[in-house]
């Protein structure tokens, strides 16, 4: 017999909203996906629609957790995100009023990090794990001392905004020299475009008038196209440099890498592992820190949000 759900988790992404009823082992019992509206009120109502559909028939006290892409205050106000239009939107309060129950609202990558720690690539880690999510941008999350890190205002986990180049150009968020400007899908596309303009063959799909995407570069690299492989390696080296700085500060057991660019696998992770080893303090005097691909699929955010909501309910 199927386990009952422990919580409803909802992951709000840039293009779609994914809701999932999750059991206590992280199995998705039922899910629903709808497109993400761009404006505040339609977005709220889309989330409410997904929640109501999945809560229909569920226990009236089933915990609900939501992962949202951007800066979320600790009391659930969606404050800012480079890729979302919401500003100072009281997401938790509005959802709780609509659904008539408590809702936990967290950053999406924070939620995905927790899912990876509990049942994914980090399930063997005891207490300390970092996760980078490589997508259009770079996000992430941290588990320290066995607890998810939310920070004082709720804004922790923006690992894409580590500064790795004092003389660097601005990324999409406007921060000069940040990791996101070097290792995100957008950055990979820019590097590929630059290489193409210099006359390097990147792959037939890529030779259009439009800058190639990170996915297209990954496709080229998986076909064995050398300049595409070198571009992914460069993105990986930058990732390893940022990871090394955090390893020196936080000394985690494990680093997990997820997100779309995860498809490139070791084409990104091997160079990241090498530059990590080159930049940690006392490399011969410490256990190496494994860099591994995420273990969960696109439901990670929803599963993590569900787990976090279920634990909150138990506090």
List residues near a copy of itself by CB under 8 A.
71, 79-81, 87, 126-128, 140, 142, 144-145, 147, 149-159, 161-168, 173, 175-178, 182, 238, 241-242, 244-246, 248-253, 278-282, 285-287
* Residue 263 · residue 215 · CB < 8 Å: yes
Coil/strand/helix, residue 216: helix
Residue number, 106 or 299, with CB nearest to a copy of itself = 106
For 49, 57, 184, the CA distances from 6, given in Å and listed in that order, are 20, 14, 34
Query: What is d(CA 9, CA 49) in angstroms, rounded to the nearest whole number?
Result: 13
Give the position of tokens 């922790």. Answer: 156
Nearest approach, Cβ of residue 162 and a copy of itself (Å): 4
For 79, 97, 241, 247, the CA distances from 292, given in Å and listed in that order, are 32, 41, 16, 15
Nearest approach, Cβ of residue 289 and a copy of itself (Å): 8
Query: What is d(CA 120, CA 142) in angstroms, rounded to the nearest whole number?
Result: 14
∠ CA 277-280-285, rounded to 5°? 90
Nearest approach, Cβ of residue 277 and a copy of itself (Å): 11
Nearest approach, Cβ of residue 113 and a copy of itself (Å): 12
Residue number, 37 or 151, with CB nearest to a copy of itself = 151
Residue number, 140 or 220, with CB nearest to a copy of itself = 140
Residue number, 92 or 161, with CB nearest to a copy of itself = 161
Nearest approach, Cβ of residue 78 and a copy of itself (Å): 10
Residue number, 175 or 291, with CB nearest to a copy of itself = 175
């Amino acid at each position: 017999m199927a386990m009952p759900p422990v919580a409803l988790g909802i992951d709000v992404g840039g293009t779609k909203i994914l809701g999932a009823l999750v059991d206590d082992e992280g199995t998705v019992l039922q899910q629903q996906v709808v497109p993400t509206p761009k404006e505040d009120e339609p977005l709220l109502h889309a989330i409410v629609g997904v929640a109501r559909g999945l809560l229909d028939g569920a226990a009236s006290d089933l915990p609900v957790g939501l992962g949202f892409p951007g800066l979320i205050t600790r009391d659930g106000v969606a404050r800012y995100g480079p890729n979302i239009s919401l500003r100072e939107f009281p997401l938790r309060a509005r959802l709780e009023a609509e659904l008539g129950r408590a809702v936990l609202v967290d950053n999406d990558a924070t939620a995905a990090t927790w899912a990876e720690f509990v049942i994914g690539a980090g399930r063997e880690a005891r207490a300390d794990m970092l996760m980078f999510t490589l997508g259009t941008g770079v996000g992430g999350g941290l588990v320290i001392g066995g607890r998810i890190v939310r920070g004082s205002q709720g804004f922790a986990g923006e690992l894409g905004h580590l500064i790795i180049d004092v003389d660097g150009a601005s990324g999409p968020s406007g921060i000069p020299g940040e990791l996101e400007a070097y290792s995100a899908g957008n950055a990979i596309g820019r590097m590929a475009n630059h290489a193409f303009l210099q006359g390097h063959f990147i792959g037939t799909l890529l030779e259009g008038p439009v800058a190639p995407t990170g996915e297209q570069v990954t496709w080229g690299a998986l076909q064995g196209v050398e300049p595409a492989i070198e571009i992914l390696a460069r993105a990986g080296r930058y990732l390893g440099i940022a990871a090394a700085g955090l390893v020196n500060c936080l000394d985690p057991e494990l680093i997990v890498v997820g997100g779309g660019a995860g498809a490139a696998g070791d084409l990104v992770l091997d160079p990241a592992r090498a530059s990590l080893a080159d930049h940690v303090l006392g490399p011969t005097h410490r256990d190496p820190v494994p860099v591994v691909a995420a273990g969960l699929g696109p439901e990670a955010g929803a599963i993590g949000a569900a787990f976090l909501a279920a634990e909150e309910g138990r506090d």
